[in-house]
Structure formats: structure tokens, C-alpha cells
Amino acid sequence: MKHIPIETVALKHVPEINEAWIQNVISNVPSILGLGDVILRDKERQQPKAGRLDILLQDLDTDKRYEVEIQLGKTDESHIIRTIEYWDLERKRYPQYEHCAVIVAEDITSRFMNVISLFNGFIPLIAIQITAIKSEDGIGLIFTKVLDEMALGLIDEDEESSPPANREYWLDKGTKKTVELVDKQLKLIQNFAPEYDLKYNKYYIGLAKDGIANNFVSFRPKKQWVNSEVRLTKDEALSSEIEEAGIDVEYLSKWGKYRLKLRPGDIEKNPELLEKIFTQAYAASQ
């Protein structure tokens, strides 16, 4: 295989290119940022008593909105403040949506990565770095996510805050059939992690190895079904596979989890798929 040298360029020093040019590239192909199946909602969006938001994107599945600010060259204080300000204005104007601030820049320095990291977890924020590659036909852009939105932990995942319970508690809260659905999923998990067992808590049923919790999957039996929450980064191909299998699924972006609503018969119909999902979550937790 022949190695082909590539030439990277600093966009700030290319006279024909400005932020508007990059806006147009992203606006024409919003998925280029790697934020999932998103569409363009607005460009140069006027903010009340402020400036203009570069780009507003929206996830087709979850209606989550991304407030995107672009900067050539290095990130600076005003860029960070402006990005957070526009995110805050949009979430207050449209509280029915989930919102996330997105900083896009050529050079996201380690100093500002540290500053941004201080906000992450309190302010949902993603940092994306641009790499520009020059060729005979023009300039191509590569967008690399260098800081992802932090998945917030649920209080009921804090073992010290979750009072202990037992199987009888969940038989009463759910039903014998839905608790048995949890047992069947445990058997799938034990195919690749035989040392894990169920750990009964007041708010959910988790997993533990030698008494130490690792809730890469957790369960909440209801009267008619069980909600199985799987810690995994969203994957469009996997999401489609789950939906095509007829499983009721939603992705909880705020928590970084798939929620599978499993009813009697779902596990028997899809044991390989479910074990595959659980295996991926287990690997990601290690």
C-alpha cells in the first residue's frame, strides 16, 4: 500500500476562507461534525440583546439541540464565553428541548481544554477541532471531537445513596414475570461474565462482582415490562438493529444510556442481539 503525503493548512491564513465558509460546509452536511443524525435548524441566528449564533442543529430522533460556535485559529476566552452565552439564551427561550453547547475551532489548546473541562458536567459542552487538508482540488475539513459531553450520573447509581432491597421488594414493585425477565438477561450476561450477579437496590436492580457494583446494565421491573438501561455511546447502526428487532428503545443522551423496554417474548426472540449489546457495554466499562 502506497503512502500518500498530505498537506495540512491553517485556515486562518487562507485568504479565501473565513468562518462563513466553514458555516456553509457544516450547514450543507451537518453530520460532518459527528454529532449523529442532525439537521440544520438555523444559521446566523439572532440572539436577544446579543450577537448571532453561528449554527443551530437539532437531532432528528431526540430533538436535542446543539448551539454551535465556530472560530478560526485558537480558542480564546471570548469564544468560550460567547458559546456558553448563546447556549444559555437558547435553553431559556426553548426549555422544551435538551441543549448542548458546541465549540468548533482549529486549535483547542490544552489550557482551554482545562478551562472547558471545568464547565463540563455542569454545562453540557462539546469541543471539536478542525483539521484542514489541502489538495489540488481544494481544501477538505476533518472534524475531531476532542472533548465530549459528560454523561451525568444518576443519584440512584451512587451505591451509598441507594438503600438496599431484596427480590421480594421487586416482585411487589413489578411482577413475577417481569422479575423473571431480569433473570433471563442475567443469564445472557453470565455467558461472558459468569462472576456477575444481581444486586437489589431500592431504585433499580444492578450488577455486582464479589459485592462490588458495576452497573453496565441496570434493570427496573414494571408491571408489564422491564426497563433495561445499558451504558453505551449512541451508535446509529446499533440503534437501527435494535429497532428492526422490534424492541422498544430510546437513547438517554443526558445519561449516555440505551433504555430497552423488554416485554415477555422479547428476550427469546433476540438473545444474540441482547447478548451482543450487553457484551459491548461490559467491554466499555472495563
Does the model's pTM come out above 0.75? no
pLDDT above 60: residue 179 = yes
Q: Is residue 2 part of a domain?
A: no
SS3 call for 46: strand
Tell whether 208 and 97 lie within a shared domain. Answer: no
Instruction: Tell me, yes or no, whether 140 and 186 share the same domain.
Output: no
Candidates 53, 104, 101; CA nearest to 74 is 104
Q: Is residue 278 in a domain?
A: yes
| 212-213 and 217-221 strand pairing | unpaired
Q: Please, are residues 78 and 71 in contact by the beta-carbon 8 Å criterion? A: no
- Phi/psi at 136 (5° precision): -65, -30
The string of pLDDT tens digits covering residues 130-163 is 888 888 778 888 888 888 876 555 444 444 445 6
CATH code (residue 114): 3.40.1350.10
Instruction: Please tell me whether residues 236 and 268 are part of one structural domain.
Output: yes
261 and 129 co-located in one domain: no
Q: Please tell me whether residues 109 and 164 are part of one structural domain.
A: no
Long-range contacts of 106-109 (CB under 8 A, 24+ apart): 106/10, 106/11, 106/12, 106/71, 106/72, 106/73, 106/74, 106/130, 106/131, 106/132, 107/73, 107/74, 107/75, 108/74, 108/75, 108/146, 108/147, 109/74, 109/75
How many degrees, rounded to 5, is the angle at CA 148 between CA 13 and CA 150?
A: 145
Angle of helix 271-285 relative to helix 236-244, nearest 10 degrees, comes to 150
**Nearest one of 100, 112, 127, 142 to 253, comparing CA atoms:** 100
Residues 6+ positions from 22 with CB-CB distance below 8 Å: 11, 70, 72, 104, 130, 141
Helices 271-285 and 176-190 pack at an angle, to 10 degrees, of: 60
227 pLDDT above the threshold of 90 = yes
Q: What is the pLDDT of residue 162?
A: 54
Whether the CB-CB separation of 215 and 255 falls below 8 Å is answered with: no
User: Is 1 a domain residue?
Assistant: no
> Are 80 and 115 a contacting pair, CB within 8 Å?
yes
Q: 28 lies in a domain? A: yes
Question: Same structural domain for residues 14 and 141?
Answer: yes
Query: 282 — phi, psi (to 5°)?
Result: -60, -45
Same domain, 87 and 132: yes
CATH classification at residue 264: 3.90.1150.200
Q: What is the pLDDT of residue 120?
A: 60
Among 147, 179, 197, the domain-final residue is 147
pLDDT, tens digit, 9 for 90 and up, residues 236-276:
899 999 999 999 999 987 788 999 999 999 999 999 999 99
Contact 58, 64 (CB under 8 A): yes
**Looking at the structure, do residues 139 and 163 belong to the same domain, yes or no?**
no
pLDDT band at 182 (very low <50, low <70, confident <90, very high): very high
Same structural domain for residues 111 and 139?
yes
Classify residue 79: in a domain, yes or no: yes
When comparing pLDDT for 50 and 213, which is higher? 213
Residues 29 and 141 in one domain: yes
Q: Which domain holds residue 85?
A: 7-147
Q: How many domains does the chain have?
A: 2
Q: Is residue 61 part of a domain?
A: yes
